[in-house]
Homo-oligomer: A and B are copies of this chain.
Amino acid sequence: MMVELTEMGLRARAAARQLGCAPSALRDAALEAIAAALLERQPEILRANQADVSKAAQNGIGEVMIDRLSLTADRIKDIAAAVRDVIRLPDPVGVVAAGITRPNGMRVLRTRVPLGVIGMIYESRPNVTVDAAVLCLKSGNACILRGGKEAIESNTVLAEVMQEAVASAGLPRDAIQLVTDTSHDSATAMMRLYGYIDVLIPRGSSRLIEAVVKNSIVPVIETGTGNCHVYVDESADLGMAADIIFNAKTSRPSVCNAAETLLVHRAVAAAFLPLAKARLDQKGVELRGCPEARAILPGIREAVEEDFYTEFLDYILAVKVVGSLEEATAHIAQYGTRHSEAIVTESYAAAEQFMQQVDAAAVYVNASTRFTDGGEFGMGAEMGISNQKLHARGPIGLEELTTTKFQIYGSGQIR
């Protein structure tokens, strides 16, 4: 396995060298060829996907997972449309991020260049295969993709369709490579490809991500667990607060930017909690409260310590009454995962204090945590949400798929 992956790594490096010098018009032409090929070869893609879906059904995979795995004519249209959206994004490569002329006359530019070779280990959804390949190609990177075994037939066809499209546009087909061995061995081998893969991005369950963080020698961008909080301050507009917690919890509970814990200031708890519960009841959200919250909302389940550490990814919300903004930020520092945190307040001082004290990728005043997303932040499509501080924090957009190169123009300077 290691030998095979090393060979893929060598081919990816060669492709990356070519991509690094390819002007954006050429990369965009390859992307357009991909979009066209996805639509044209739709029957073939659907057949392969049907094979994956049948096998999953035979293996007793649950309905939600089967839905995530399934492609339809409409979904393929959406995927192709998303490729065309990426074409319209500005090219991150070649941007001069900074520049200076030194006292000795040397010009020092700091220019964005592709990272080189990006590895991605992910799970079931086959659309990720296209999304990831397309963002890598747009940013001038070669990629080595390893999806989950459930989607192997779909991924194999999708990769082939994209490779042929890239080649038809005059770029190397090795720009996009798929690891077809979906055993643990292949994932482990990717984590050892130091010098071949420049960055490895795991995307999927927290178990997968943890395994990559712990075992990879290749630098990793950790994507993330989001144990996100909404704190309702004593000065909050309670109607706005109810709208925000309802949206943050229920608009899509399975994603990392959904809220998992509601913190409420004691001064407004008696007024706010029944209001919030009435809204959340509409979606059948189970509340798990601290003793004070249960005194206000008798009948809700008791929250145990563990609940405050849990990313439920479900219609479950932990609730805690706090005595002050400081208690809220201390709770967030202890239990949170530094992903997305929100305060609802009408107080300028409270807003600024929360904004400064909370350490997270995204901190909100009076808005839902659900906005933590590349598109919503105006960055375009994304490779995931980084939950680490190094290189990329928050949505991983095209710029985060680049590094910089110092370019020094001299006239004989020595030191």
Name the residue on B nearest A244 (C-beta): B414
Name the residue on B nearest A251 (C-beta): B415
Name the residue on B nearest A411 (C-beta): B366
| Contact of A415 with B199 in the complex, beta carbons under 8 Å | no
Q: Roughly how many angstroms separate A75 CA and B362 CA in the complex, as a whole number? A: 44
Contact of A405 among B116, B194, B214, B361 (CB under 8 A): B361
| Contact of B115 with A221 in the complex, beta carbons under 8 Å | no
Q: Roughly how many angstroms separate A404 CA and B367 CA in the complex, as a whole number? A: 19
Name the residue on B nearest A192 (C-beta): B214
Contact of A408 among B20, B194, B222, B371 (CB under 8 A): B371
- Which residues A20-62 have CB closer than 8 A to chain B? 20-21
| Contact of B412 with A365 in the complex, beta carbons under 8 Å | no
Q: Roughly how many angstroms separate A213 CA and B89 CA in the complex, as a whole number? A: 35
Given A393-B404, A405-B393, A415-B247, residue A359 in contact with residue B20 (CB < 8 A): yes
* A17 interfacial contact with B, CB 8 Å: yes
How many residues of chain A are within 8 Å of chain B by beta carbon? Answer: 68
Given A240-B412, A247-B414, residue A367 in contact with residue B333 (CB < 8 A): no
| Contact of A406 with B362 in the complex, beta carbons under 8 Å | yes
CB distance from A22 to the nearest CB of B (A): 11
- Which residues A76-109 have CB closer than 8 A to chain B? 100, 102, 106, 108
Q: Roughly how many angstroms separate A21 CA and B326 CA in the complex, as a whole number? A: 14
* A205 interfacial contact with B, CB 8 Å: no
* A280 interfacial contact with B, CB 8 Å: no
Given A17-B359, A357-B21, A393-B403, residue A364 in contact with residue B244 (CB < 8 A): no
Q: Can you list 7 A-B pairs, Cβ within 8 angstroms, ordered by A?
A: A17-B333, A240-B412, A244-B412, A360-B405, A362-B406, A367-B413, A371-B408
19 other A-B residue contacts (CB within 8 Å) besides A362-B407, A366-B412, A390-B390? A20-B356, A21-B357, A100-B378, A102-B377, A102-B378, A115-B390, A198-B390, A213-B217, A219-B220, A244-B414, A246-B414, A351-B409, A355-B407, A362-B408, A363-B407, A363-B408, A368-B413, A389-B403, A393-B403
Q: Which residues of A contact B (CB under 8 A)?
A: 17, 20-21, 100, 102, 106, 108, 113, 115-116, 194, 198-199, 213-214, 217, 219-222, 237, 240, 243-244, 246-248, 251, 333, 351, 355-357, 359-368, 370-372, 376-378, 388-391, 393-394, 403-415
